[in-house]
A and B are shown apart, each in its own frame.
Chain A
Amino acid sequence: MPFTNVFFDNFEKTMKEFGPLLGYSIEMEQKKSENPKGPRKPAALWMQILPAVSAYVRSIILNYHDSEDIIQNIAVIFAEKYDRLDPSLKVLPWILRIARYEVVNHFRSQGREQIIFDEKVLQRIERAYHVIHDESEGIKKALHTCIESLNDRPRHVLKLRYFREMEIRDISQRLGLSSNAVYIILCRVREALVNCVQKKTGVLWKVT
Chain B
Amino acid sequence: MMDPVKLIHLYMDERLTPEQATELRSRLLEDADFARLFARYGLLNSCIRNEFLEEDLKESIEQFVVPTSADVGTNADFSDTDQVATESIMKPEKPDVDKVRKIKARAEQQLQAFLAEQEKLNRSQSSLPRASFDFYAAYQACATKLDILLKRVVTIGSRTAICGVFVLVILGGIHYWLTHRVVATLDNSSHAVWRVPRQEPQLRRGSMTLEQGYAQLTFKQGTQVLIQAPCTFELQSSNKMALENGSMTANVPSQAVGFRVQTPWATVVDYGTEFGLSTGQTNGTEVHVFEGNVSVGDATSSQVATEGQAAHVDQAGRIGLKSLDDRPNLFVRHMPKAGSCFSIPGKRLDLADVVGGGNGFGTGVQGRALDPTKNYTSFTFRGIILRRPLNNTGYRAGSGFIGIEQLPFIDGIFVPNGSDQSTTITSTGLLFQDCPDTHGTYYDGIVCGAVFDDQYVHAGRLAGHHYETPEQPSIGACANVGITFDLDSIRASMSNCLISRFRAHCGISETLADIQEEQDYAQVKVTFWVLVDGRIEYSRELGTDPFESDQIDIPLNPSDRFLTLITTTHQENFYCWSMFAEPALELERKHP
Contacts and interface: CB of A to CB of B under 8 A. Distances in A.
B535 interface: no
Interface in B32-71: 32-58, 61, 70-71
Given A14-B160, A139-B44, A153 B37 contact: no
A153 B239 contact: no
Given A110-B257, A127-B35, A62 B91 contact: no
Contacts of A186: 9, 13
A20 B42 CA distance: 39
Interface stretch (B82-90, B374-382, B550-558): B82-90
Given A59-B45, A206-B5, A116 B37 contact: no
A124 B70 contact: no
Contact of B237 (A4, A69, A156): A69
Interface in A117-156: 117-118, 120-121, 124-125, 127-129, 131-132, 135-136, 139-140, 143-144, 146-147, 149-154, 156
Given A125-B38, A151-B88, A177-B81, A162 B49 contact: yes
Contact of B21 (A10, A68, A115, A174): A115
Contacts of B18: 115
A3 B61 contact: yes
A59 B13 contact: no
B457 interface: no
Contacts of A151: 88-91
A176 B78 contact: yes
B396 interface: no
Contacts, number: 239
B57 A3 contact: yes
Contact of B9 (A115, A182, A187): A187
A149 B238 CA distance: 34
Given A69-B240, A124-B29, A151-B89, A174 B75 contact: yes
Given A62-B14, A132-B43, A181 B82 contact: yes
Interface residues of A, number: 90
A177 B220 CA distance: 26
Contacts of B34: 207
B13 A124 contact: no
Given A3-B61, A125-B28, A132-B36, A55 B43 contact: yes
Interface stretch (B162-170, B356-364, B469-477, B526-534): B162-170
Given A128-B39, A156-B70, A139 B47 contact: yes
B28 A124 contact: yes
B35 A125 contact: yes
A74 B356 CA distance: 49
Interface stretch (A29-37, A78-86, A87-95, A190-198): A190-198
A160 interface: yes
A176 B150 CA distance: 61
B156 interface: yes
B159 A4 contact: no
A156 B29 contact: no
A28 interface: no
Nearest to A7: B166
Interface in B387-416: none
A7 B9 CA distance: 34
Contacts of A51: 43, 46-47, 50
B454 interface: no
A177 B14 CA distance: 18
B257 A177 contact: no
A97 B474 CA distance: 62
A129 B78 contact: no
Nearest to B83: A181
Nearest to B152: A18
B40 A139 contact: yes
A40 interface: no
Contacts of A160: 71
A110 B222 CA distance: 15
A77 to B, nearest CB: 14
A205 B40 contact: yes
A109 B75 contact: no
B238 A69 contact: yes
A35 to B, nearest CB: 25
Contact of A111 (B11, B167, B257): B257
A65 B235 CA distance: 14
Contacts of A49: none
Contacts of A194: 41, 44
B24 interface: yes
Given A116-B21, A196-B90, A2 B45 contact: no
Contacts of B53: 163
B175 interface: no
A25 interface: no
B25 to A, nearest CB: 5
Contact of B271 (A111, A143, A188): A111
B272 to A, nearest CB: 9
Interface in A27-60: 51-52, 54-56, 58-59
A18 B151 CA distance: 13
A153 B84 contact: yes
Contact of B159 (A14, A115, A182): A14
14 contacts: A22-B156, A58-B49, A59-B42, A109-B258, A116-B28, A124-B32, A124-B35, A143-B51, A147-B51, A162-B45, A176-B75, A177-B78, A188-B85, A188-B89
Interface of B: 4-6, 9, 11-15, 18, 21-22, 24-25, 28-29, 31-58, 61, 70-71, 74-75, 77-79, 81-82, 84-86, 88-91, 93, 152, 155-156, 159-160, 162-163, 166-167, 170, 178, 220-221, 237-240, 257-258, 260, 269, 271
Given A55-B47, A59-B38, 7 more contacts: A6-B166, A66-B239, A121-B29, A135-B43, A144-B51, A183-B15, A184-B82
Report the 6 A-B pairs with minimum CB-CB distance, sorted nearest first: A59-B42, A3-B58, A163-B52, A55-B46, A128-B39, A128-B35
